[in-house]
């Protein structure tokens, strides 16, 4: 048994949130550079140049890469040999997010869904906790913008639709989104599970680096084929046409019911901000 | 690259073609979802708007707070299609054009043609770049909306692409 004060988790999340707001992941930057190197369409190349320069400016001057500093999505894998002490975990996480958004001069974008009143401090965060083996706590921090989140979709496919149905659903979602979610997009896909777990898997897929593939060969093939078909759509950076409509497609899967084939497609813009840490 | 100094007159709007890369300087106004809802409610009640709409350029954006010593925080465009329901009425009332990102509805395109307006696409995600291009920011209306309040921005060399021109052309 290991004793861990939730303050330690909160302090780490605070630092991760501050860094994530101003920094694109290395795999995102590499993918943007590759997109630029292969782009032949003038306006799309101009947009990609602007984005690459913007990422450098944001990091060097410690400015938010994008003004949509997102909803704070926090995934915690907590070893079952960890005994948490101190402030309630959710309160500690929200406190860290509150401090980071104030100290980082980040935008506060969280509001009541009906009254639309802003909570003023970007809390509550979206917190997912899972219990795993061991005595460590793994933290994944993903600030999620909503221009892209709005273009996400959930499908309850029939089992008969199979792999082709899954790929079509992914491609159709990106096609429907068009220029609106800030392409080139990064696509997180959940396959299987129940309605709720499927959506979670799609979000979790976005925490895997761009350019990585599923350990399962058949699912890795879905990722590759979906990406190829998305990039054949020709939407391009910002919808200005061109070769790169998506930087990557990542799929995560779970066992599902004999009657169903849930597919969740979570769209992330090209501004991929994600931090990981282990305590 | 074409340089545009606001206010934009109709002659200048007529010379812009979808796909042109431009650098915009001058005065623009921020407004997004909640502010648009309030503006259209004010129009319905016959009230005076917090800014003269004739020839104005609305930027669909909600900035980050400004760091000390800066005029504005990061301030890239938000998705314009959420303002599809509001834009035609504002264009008919004299709005000169909009800056945002992504395609808008056919009704908006028709209103742009009808009123010789223009819709510029800023590069979504380049928030730091746009924030640095803002030299002055003044709160004009709805301070309770925080980042969604209406602000008057002075901008210098805002990089944009003409998305919809007044001849019906579109980059999308």
Q: What is the pLDDT of residues B30-65, one digit of tens each?
A: 999 999 999 999 999 999 999 999 999 999 999 999
Q: What is the mean pLDDT of chain A?
A: 97
**Is the CB of residue A212 less than 8 Å away from at least one CB of chain B?**
no
Per-residue confidence band for A112, with pLDDT thresholds at 50, 70 and 90: very high
- Calculate the alpha carbon distances from A7 to A73, A95, B86 in Å: 18, 10, 46
Collapse the DSSP code of A229 into the 3-class scheme (helix H, G, I; strand E, B; otherwise coil) and give the result: helix
**Is the CB of residue A147 less than 8 Å away from at least one CB of chain B?**
yes
Give the structural domain span for B120: 2-164
| Domain assignment of residue B51, yes or no | yes
**Is the CB of residue B146 less than 8 Å away from at least one CB of chain A?**
yes
Residue A114 pLDDT exceeds 90: yes
Give the count of beta carbons closer than 10 Å to the beta carbon of residue A211.
13
**Dist. CA B53–CA A55, nearest whole Å:** 34
Per-residue confidence band for B13, with pLDDT thresholds at 50, 70 and 90: confident
* Residue B8, pLDDT score: 87
Residue A273 pLDDT exceeds 90: yes
- In angstroms, the separation between the Cα of residue B72 and the nearest Cα of chain A is 10
Residue B71 pLDDT exceeds 90: yes
- In angstroms, the separation between the Cα of residue A123 and the nearest Cα of chain B is 15
- Lowest-confidence range among A35-44, B2-11, B35-44, B155-164? B2-11
**Dist. CA B53–CA B41, nearest whole Å:** 15
* Chain A residues with beta carbon closer than 8 angstroms to that of B171: 43, 239-240
CB contact under 8 A, B101 and A182: yes
Give the count of beta carbons closer than 10 Å to the beta carbon of residue A124.
16
Task: To the nearest 10°, report the CA torsion of A35, A37, A40, A46.
Answer: 80
Taking a C-beta distance cutoff of 8 angstroms, is the pair B70, B131 a contact?
A: yes
Which residue among B19, B21, B147 places its CB closest to the CB of A107? Answer: B147
- Calculate the alpha carbon distances from B26 to B10, B155, B172 in Å: 16, 5, 26
- The widest CA-to-CA distance across chain B, in whole angstroms, is 43
Q: What would the pLDDT profile of A31-84 be if each residue is shown by its tens digit?
A: 999 999 999 988 999 999 999 999 999 999 999 999 999 999 999 999 999 999
Residue B1 pLDDT exceeds 90: no
> pTM for the full model?
0.94
**Dist. CA A52–CA A237, nearest whole Å:** 12
**Dist. CA A201–CA A206, nearest whole Å:** 9
- The ipTM value here is 0.93
* Residue B64, pLDDT score: 97
Question: Which residues, listed in sequence order, are joined to residue A221 by a DSSP beta bridge?
Answer: none
Give the count of domains, chain B: 1
* Residue B128, pLDDT score: 97
| Alpha-helical segments (H) within chain A | 6-22, 26-38, 42-61, 89-103, 146-149, 162-177, 195-205, 217-231
| Domain assignment of residue B170, yes or no | no
**Dist. CA B7–CA B24, nearest whole Å:** 10
Q: Tokens at residue B45, please?
A: 């009640």
Q: What is the mean pLDDT of residues B120-145?
A: 96
Taking a C-beta distance cutoff of 8 angstroms, is the pair A54, A46 a contact?
A: no
CATH number of the domain where residue B160 is located: 3.20.130.10
* Residue A30, pLDDT score: 97
DSSP label at residue B45: T
* Residue B153, pLDDT score: 97
Residue B12 pLDDT exceeds 90: no
Per-residue confidence band for B133, with pLDDT thresholds at 50, 70 and 90: very high
- In angstroms, the separation between the Cα of residue B115 and the nearest Cα of chain A is 24
Q: What is the mean pLDDT of chain B?
A: 95
Q: Can you spell out the DSSP letters for B119-137?
A: EEEE-TT-HHHHHHTEEEE
- In angstroms, the separation between the Cα of residue B63 and the nearest Cα of chain A is 6
Helix, strand, coil percent content, chain A, rounded in steps of 5: 40, 25, 35
**Is the CB of residue B22 less than 8 Å away from at least one CB of chain A?**
no
Q: What would the pLDDT profile of A125-163 be if each residue is shown by its tens digit?
A: 999 999 999 999 999 999 999 999 999 999 999 999 999
Mention every residue, 6+ apart, whose C-beta is less than 8 A from residue A278.
A136, A137, A138, A139
């Amino acid at each position: 048994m290991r004793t861990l004060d939730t303050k330690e988790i909160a302090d780490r999340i605070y630092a991760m949130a501050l860094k994530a707001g101003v920094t694109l992941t290395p795999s995102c930057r590499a993918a943007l550079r590759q997109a630029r190197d292969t782009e032949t369409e003038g306006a799309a190349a101009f947009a990609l140049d602007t984005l690459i320069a913007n990422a450098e400016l944001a990091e060097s001057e410690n400015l938010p890469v994008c003004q949509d500093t997102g909803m704070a999505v926090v995934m915690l894998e907590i070893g079952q040999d960890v005994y948490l002490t101190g402030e309630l975990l959710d309160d500690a996480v929200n406190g860290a997010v509150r401090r980071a958004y104030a100290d980082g001069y980040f935008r506060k974008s969280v509001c009541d869904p009906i009254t639309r009143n802003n909570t003023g401090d970007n809390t509550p965060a979206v917190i997912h906790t899972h219990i795993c083996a061991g005595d460590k706590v793994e933290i994944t921090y993903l600030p999620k913008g909503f221009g892209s989140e709005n273009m996400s979709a959930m499908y309850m496919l029939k089992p008969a639709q199979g792999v082709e149905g899954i790929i079509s659903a992914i491609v159709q979602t990106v096609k429907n989104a068009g220029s609106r979610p800030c392409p080139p997009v990064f696509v997180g896909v959940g396959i299987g599970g129940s309605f709720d777990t499927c959506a979670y898997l799609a979000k979790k897929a976005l925490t895997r680096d761009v350019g990585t593939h599923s350990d399962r060969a058949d699912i890795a093939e879905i990722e590759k084929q979906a990406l190829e078909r998305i990039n054949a759509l020709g939407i391009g950076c910002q919808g200005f046409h061109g070769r790169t409509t998506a930087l990557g497609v990542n799929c995560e899967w779970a066992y599902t019911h004999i009657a169903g084939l849930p597919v969740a497609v979570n769209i992330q813009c090209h501004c991929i901000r994600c931090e990981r840490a282990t305590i | 690259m074409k340089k545009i100094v606001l206010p934009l007159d109709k002659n200048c709007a007529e010379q812009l073609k979808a796909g042109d890369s431009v650098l915009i300087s001058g005065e623009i106004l921020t407004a997004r979802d909640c502010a648009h809802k309030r503006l259209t409610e004010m129009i319905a009640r016959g009230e005076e708007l917090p800014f003269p709409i004739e020839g104005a350029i609305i930027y669909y954006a909600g900035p980050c707070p400004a760091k000390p010593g800066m005029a504005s925080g990061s301030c890239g465009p938000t998705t314009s299609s959420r303002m599809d329901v509001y834009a035609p009425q504002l264009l008919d009332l004299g709005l000169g054009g909009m800056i945002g990102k992504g395609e808008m509805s056919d009704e908006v395109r028709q209103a742009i043609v009808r009123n010789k307006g223009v819709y510029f696409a800023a590069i979504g995600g380049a928030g730091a770049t746009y924030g640095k291009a803002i030299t002055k920011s003044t709160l004009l209306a709805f301070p309770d909306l925080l980042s969604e309040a209406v602000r008057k921005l002075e901008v210098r060399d805002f990089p944009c692409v003409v998305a919809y021109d007044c001849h019906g052309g579109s980059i999308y």
